[in-house]
Amino acid sequence: MHELNRKEKLLKLIVEQFIRTAEPVGSSALIEEYDLPYSSATVRNEMAELERLGYLEKTHTSSGRVPSSEGYRYYVDYLRDAQVDTTMRYQIQNLFESKKGLEIDEVIEKGCEIISQMTHLTTVVLGPDANLERINKVQLVPLNDITAVAVFVTDRGHVEHKTFSIPKDVSIGELESCVNIINDRICGTPINKVADKVDSLRPILAERIKNHEIVFKAFLEAFLKFTTERVSVFGRANMFEQPEFTNNIEKIRKLINLLENDSAWKALETKEGINVRIGEENMLTEMDDVSIVTANISVSSNQHGTIALVGPKRMDYNKALAALEYLQEEINRFFIETDEEE
């Protein structure tokens, strides 16, 4: 960070004070809180100038000021401290050090749970494009005499499963025979073509197993999840606990629509590195008091996903960006190491 002039120092403190308290910031409170070596008149004049420049805004209910979208943008680009919280760093490091036995999904999910908890923000994960994956194997895991789990694994380590009830007149042997048929016919098939290929096996399955429709449906539903459920949300409740949204039913409704709009998230365009969309910069939502921070992740040499942190425009950008940058580095390193081991 460059050496800050007085205006920049004050803007940085105002942004960080407002992030912490969600209350408009006045000159007297600022001087008292940070023991500033400036007079009240000096601070008031500088705040008035920052307002004139578009970095601060007055509120209708207070004599204090709050950061504008331009103020947050300047803060993110030039004033923030890039330092990962020690506890968060330890938890993420511990996750990747004990990574043995974890599937791709588990590593990413656990990492996102950690940063959601530590930042008090909502994390949205956009998985890799399913069309680039192929089915590697299908397994049947009997849980008891009446229930079994069908497990599907792709060549990139993505795992999906479906629990289903075993029809009374169907044996485990018959089910295993069906799984063998499916493995023979679909292994190596691109995910986006699996559903059609399984559908073509319906006559063959009907010859091998009574009440085959129950089993067929379980397998087909699981395959469809590969292509339709690549958006996961963690820490959903964190958004609804923010002061900006707590008592505003209309904003809560819009937040729910945003978090549940999978097609909008899938259409989200991200560039290399960390991307920060502040308030009105967001094209995903009409809400001008929501910010979204995104990072691309590499899960193999040719597959990529995206992790997004969603919060109020008043989010702690220091913590959010540092957390996402660190998690991005660790995930990318993890999958590079995994590819090399294979």
- So what's the pLDDT on residue 65? 94
pLDDT tops 90 at residue 102: no
- So what's the pLDDT on residue 336? 67
Lowest-pLDDT choice from 26-30, 114-118, 143-147, 299-303: 299-303
- Which helix H or strand E contains 14, and what residues bound it? helix 6-21
Q: Where are the beta strands (DSSP E) in the chain?
A: 56-58, 65-67, 122-126, 135-142, 147-154, 159-165, 231-234, 274-277, 290-300, 303-312
Query: Cα(36)–Cα(30) distance, rounded to whole angstroms?
Result: 8
Angle at 229 between CA 92 and CA 213, to 5 degrees: 130
pLDDT confidence band for 330 (50 / 70 / 90)? confident
Among 5-14, 88-97, 112-121, the range with the most confident prediction by mean pLDDT is 5-14
| Tokens encoding 224 | 């469809």
| Tokens encoding 340 | 């090399």
pLDDT confidence band for 23 (50 / 70 / 90)? very high
Query: Cα(25)–Cα(65) distance, rounded to whole angstroms?
Result: 5
Do the Cβ atoms of 208 and 244 come closer than 8 Å? Answer: no
Lowest-pLDDT choice from 144-153, 158-167, 287-296: 158-167
pLDDT tops 70 at residue 1: no
Among 116-120, 154-158, 221-225, the range with the most confident prediction by mean pLDDT is 116-120
Q: What is the pLDDT of residues 40-74, one digit of tens each?
A: 999 999 999 999 999 999 887 667 899 999 999 99
- So what's the pLDDT on residue 236? 87
- So what's the pLDDT on residue 215? 67
Give me the helices (H) in the chain, please.
Answer: 6-21, 27-34, 40-52, 69-74, 86-97, 104-119, 172-186, 191-200, 202-208, 212-228, 236-240, 249-260, 262-266, 317-341
- So what's the pLDDT on residue 196? 79
Q: Between residues 85 and 37, which one has the greater pLDDT?
A: 37
- So what's the pLDDT on residue 33? 93
- So what's the pLDDT on residue 21? 93
Q: Is the pTM of this model over 0.75?
A: no
Torsion of CA 268, 271, 273, 274, to 10 degrees: -40
The residue written with tokens 């699981």 in the block is: 222
- So what's the pLDDT on residue 304? 73
Q: Between residues 138 and 131, which one has the greater pLDDT?
A: 138
- Mean pLDDT (whole number) for 183-210: 79
- So what's the pLDDT on residue 341? 58
- Side-by-side strand order, sheet with 122-126: 231-234, 122-126, 303-312, 290-300, 274-277
Query: Cα(311)–Cα(123) distance, rounded to whole angstroms?
Result: 9
- Mean pLDDT (whole number) for 218-237: 72
